[in-house]
Structure 1
Amino acid sequence: MDLTSESTTAAVVDSFAATPDPRLREILQELVPHLHDFVRKVRLTLPEWQAAIEFLTAVGQKCDENRQEFILLSDVLGISMLVETLNGQSSGTESTVLGPFHMVASPEREHGDSIALVGGGTPCVVSGRVVGTDGAPLAGATVDVWQCNAEGFYDVQQPDVQPPGNGRGLFRTDAEGRIRFRTVVPSHYPIPTDGPVGKMLLATNRHPYRPAHIHFIATAPGHRELTTHIFVADSPYLDSDAVFAVKKSLIADFVEVDDPGQARAHDVANPFRAASIELVLEPADVG
């Protein structure tokens, strides 16, 4: 076969024709023409192709049990957010990216527990409620929570400073679909820049910062799983999140409360900040 730049594309597409899984066949046969068109459009050189191979190799080599550099790459290219948006709920709480630090299991905690195991930062009480799209509370739903500390680091980034599970908690909702936990107000922070993704951001004059946020994954029987955040309303970088994950509906006020009685009731120092979130889950048969 005498292959040209155009006939090579057709030959590669045809090579996947016998793929037994129809969805895998569709994905591969759509992917190849787009990749080949890109190579032709930019007239990719051999040194550039080699640099791309080395970059992807370095991304893989940076991954370990606590670090997922490929998710980080997907995040900064906006692919993670695009996939979330395409697959998100149509009538429930909006979803957003998982992020690269959901790499360890969150410890089970009770209603009202603190997920902040070390001192420092502004105390905060977060109240949440998990409901269906009809507004009915979802009792016994599971809510996985994780966040960075007041200095902008996750526990897995500082194993010598933060104990495992700091900033993390796995909660179950009560009969009214509620959870509540104590924590500290998270900080805005840079995504990891010590790997190939960070080098790419530096080379393209992009900043690495994310606005302050708390992550949630909510699950309940008969309902779609939801991955989302709440973003701290007065945080920097809400308009330029490095991973393009901010949605207006997910920005929450972390209100200052100066009330010694409420502080004692929640077992936090006064004054403190309070935030709330309602996680609305669609039925599993929607979408």
Structure 2
Amino acid sequence: MKQKIKRLSAFQIADITLVTILSVLILAPVLNIFSSSFASTRALAEGNFIFFPKEVTLDNYSAVFHDSTIWHAYFISVSKTILGVITHVFFCSMVAFGLSKRDLRFRNVYTVMGVITLFFSGGMIPTYLLMKKLGLLNNFLVYILPQLFSYYDVVILMNFFRQIPGSLEESASIDGAGVWRVFLQIAMPLSKPALATIALFNGVYQWNDFMTAKLYMTDTTLYPVQMKLYEIIVQQQAASMNTIGNVALQTTSKGIQLATIVVTTVPILIIYPLLQKHFVSGMMLGAVKE
């Protein structure tokens, strides 16, 4: 029996073509940045390559990690990201679990207050004055406390908690489980896809955030790696040699910038595949109502 060959429809061919073009448009700049980060000063100055520089060097990365405090900055970034994600997910989960109960008193009032935060903020100067009043300037907690709550994440988690059958919670209550036990041992485990999605979003924000340090930090020992690398770029721009043909070629500020992009992106690229399974489930679950 001849094997039937499935013919692609015109829509499928157009869809595959469009996805391929978009993939190339996305991957090409990423590969260009990665390869350019290994290019020498002369190769970057000439700029006559896309993916394969004529001269390959590690001087750009050596300049990035030359500062001995860079590893301390990495520790600060990892610490604030891990602690920030855990506290953010837990706090938003508590609020979402409470708001998911229709018999909660003043539930509509809390909902309106949450929606207001989606459209309005206090502004940069009032927020700075608030951080100063709370004693959070040059304080590690400034990375954690202001990021505890996000009503957008609360709404996502509320939709998941509402899908938990009420009979399951009732049976747990009959067996003597209190609210905290139902929340920690039933609601949280059943909402792993949503929690992973929120953790990924918040983790990316925490890792890439340097404005918090720029606004509220003057103590360099509390700088995250993004702020530290920003300092390196500024210092390199002031001290680098941009001319070609010197006996001792130094790395250009462009090479430093490309290396910093790669250094700050690699941790996210490593973590994302680990959470991708839950992330996809979290985005799809609840999108279709049977």
* Band the TM-score falls in, shorter-chain normalisation: under 0.3
TM-score (norm 1): 0.24
Greater helix percent: which structure? Answer: 2
TM-score (norm 2): 0.24
Greater strand percent: which structure? Answer: 1
